[in-house]
Amino acid sequence: MPSPRAALLAILSAILMLCVAPGIAMGQQEKKSFPDKFQEKWEKDGPNVRIKRHQDGSRTVFRRSPDDRTLVKRTWGTNGAVKMIVVYRLNPKGDPLACKIYDGREALLYKVSYGYSRTTGRLQAERMFDARALRTNPETGKETPIRVMYYNYDARGNQTAPEVYTFKEGKKAEEVFGAHGTFPRDNPFKP
């Protein structure tokens, strides 16, 4: 039978361990099973696929061709159904030259072309055409866009808010097409 002093030392050391052990554990990197703040980040799925899971449960997947000339962006809704598909054709530098926008059922909705400065190589214009109805200029006979965005840059070379012109009557461009253009600013393959 242990002495009363040994029993008291055993109890005190047990209490000390209960008090000190959590402090030691807190000093170590603690993994949480669920983060306090949701952080969207790109996940790799091979050399040509990037996935971003959004806080609302939807996800966006970018898939590029092995020759880096085609980029396909698919967006799935929270219910798991494809909402939108965008197919970009890229130049050798990886900048989009054109894209086609499809709905979730793969019906072509819009065609978009991009224009770049010959001297700086920066994006200058984005022209969106309605693929469901051909709109032509009666004077020239050429297809006319339903929206044009002109990009400008400040003295430091930073892009400013674009000038947006829409030719669809009755609503503002932001209401019809959203506040941003179709240019893939979140391209995970572009440094």
pLDDT by residue (tens digit) across 132-173? 999 888 899 999 999 999 999 999 989 998 888 887 666 665
The token pair at 156 is: 């430091």
User: Which residues, 6+ apart, have CB-to-CB distance to 190 below 8 Å?
Assistant: 94, 184
Residue 134 CA to residue 143 CA, distance in Å, equals: 7
> How much is the mean pLDDT over the chain?
80
Distance CA 48, CA 68 (A): 9
Tens of pLDDT along 148-159? 999 999 999 899
CB count within 10 Å of CB 93 equals 9
Instruction: Determine which helix (DSSP H) or strand (DSSP E) holds 106, and give its type and residue range.
Output: none
- Structural domains of the chain, with CATH: 42-177 (2.40.128.720)
- Mean pLDDT for 40-48 is 77
Rounded to whole angstroms, what are the CA distances from 10 to 7, 22, 23, 127, 182?
5, 19, 20, 79, 70
pTM: 0.68
